[in-house]
Amino acid sequence: MATRVLSLTLNGRRHEGVAPDNMLLLDYLREVVGITGTKTGCDGGECGACTVLIDDQPVLSCLALATTCAGKRVDTVESLASDGRLSAIQRGFHEKLGAQCGACTPGFVMASEGLLRRNPDPTVDEIRTALGSNICRCTGYVKIIEAVRHAAMLLKQETAA
């Protein structure tokens, strides 16, 4: 299989690597780069656990080829905390108990982060729509929606401060 040199911005930093043409972004992140916050769930585009942001848009990394990210910005859950401080969306999930077993959480957090970047004050319906590709088997979703609403409020407070 042919390989390519890959140059992109990964979690805010310039990144260069080599990937086979057929390597999935999920496998590249976890096995080549060695960052494992992005989770494998169904491995088939059904659950959303592997969601990352590419140029701020949520993408299922189990369906995207690593080589298609050349020249783009890829953000994983590892990009969110800064100097040991949780980001607004991470605080939202933590403070509103939006995670239980945690298997789905990085995917929900990144899909929610993408939503808040596009729409910092989403309605409940807009949150439901944005998270429609993510599956959680534990929370019943109510706490997750509360977490995103809470994160939006925290973001507003941060902006006003």
User: Which residues of the shown chain bind ligand FES in the complex (CB under 6 A)?
Assistant: 40-43, 45-50, 60, 62, 99-105, 136-139
| DSSP at 23 | -
Nearer to ligand FES, 46 or 158 (CB): 46
Terminal Cα-to-Cα distance of the chain (whole angstroms): 52
Q: Please, what is the minimum distance in Å from the beta carbon of residue 52 to ligand FES?
A: 10
How many whole angstroms from its chain centre is CA 84? Answer: 18
The nearest distance, CB 3 to ligand FES, in angstroms, is 23
Q: Which is nearer to ligand FES, 99 or 109 (CB)?
A: 99
- Between 102 and 120, name the residue whose CB sits nearer to ligand FES: 102
Q: How far apart are CA 16 and CA 25, in angstroms?
A: 14
Instruction: For the CB of residue 101, give the shortest distance to ligand FES in the complex, in Å.
Output: 3
Neighbours of 43 (CB within 10 A): 14
- Min. distance of Cβ 83 from ligand FES in angstroms? 27
SS (H, E, C) 37-100: CCCCCCCCCCCCCCEEEECCEEEECCCCEHHHHCCCEEECHHHCCECCECCHHHHHHHHCCCCC
Nearer to ligand FES, 19 or 136 (CB): 136
